[in-house]
Amino acid sequence: MKIIIHGGFFSESDQSHEVKVAKQNSLKEIATKGFEFLQNHSAEETVVYTVSLLEDDPLFNAGIGSQIQSDGKIRMSASLMNGETQKFSGVINIENVKNPIKVAQVLMKEQDRVLGGEGAKKYALEHGFEDFSTEIPQRRKEYEAKLKNGGKGTVGCVALDNNGKLAAATSTGGKGFEIVGRISDSATVAGNFANQHCAVSCTGVGEDIVSNATAAKIVTRVSDGMSIEKAFEKTFQELKEIDGFAGAIAIDQSGNFFHQDSYPTMVFASFDGIDFEVFD
């Protein structure tokens, strides 16, 4: 059983040392809770639970703390993929929901498993999700001052359960100040993908991740027999060719962790019940 999570990127130029330490501590705490949950739950249930904790933490750009778009509104996206069943579900540009990843989880039982905009919100209300504003004062200040702090942020989790099953979940509050209707990578297989061989969650500039098909490429290459390290190496080399800005976390079916970013510094934490690894 293993778990690895990410919380977007950290820039020394626009975030303080205190924020960095707070993120390190929060990721370690959330990874611990996620691993404890994994003891008695499936990989799919665990990645949803863990990403919901990240959505509930205003330090990260998902759920509470999401970025504000150019028209002053918050729209979020999230997706879930079960490596065993190969089912993918997600919501795109959903508004006024506390935990978009939990809506994606409910959608797993539907034939129509990816919903956007008003349809996603209507579905959430019909399935017991309360109307909830995820805006926090800091994001409004950033919006009004046209600051773009944290604009390359997303949260995600991949897990390997005690039955050897993999799952991946990713959630984002956008990049901030984007054109209304813009779609990120987070609710696509470019940003969130899993099968029985590997699970990957990405963060960074959504357009670059989609252009590179980052998560799907890594998983496909591992499935074809490439080691997880080599799969990352080749995929990130291709990302470099387009000067892409991205980071990714992954676990393969043998329990090997891997993470990489094209520009420093993706914030992440991994835990296998014994050893922690947290970003510097």
Q: Which residues are annotated as a binding site for substrate?
A: 182-185, 203-206
Burial of 278 (0-12, 13-18, 19+ CB in 10 A): middle
Mapping DSSP to helix (H, G, I), strand (E, B) and coil, where does residue 253 land? coil
154 in catalytic set = yes
Phi and psi (nearest 5°) for 262?
-90, -20
| End-to-end Cα spacing for the chain | 24
Known binding positions: 182-185, 203-206
Own/partner pairs, 135-138, CB within 8 angstroms, 24+ separation = 135/66, 135/68, 135/74, 136/58, 136/64, 136/65, 138/58, 138/65
**Token pair for 6:** 């990410």
Residue 229 · residue 185 · CB < 8 Å: no
Q: How far apart are CA 196 and CA 85, in angstroms?
A: 9
Question: Residue 80 forms beta bridges with which residues?
Answer: 89, 169
Catalytic entry in 50, 134, 154, 172: 154
Active-site residue set: 154
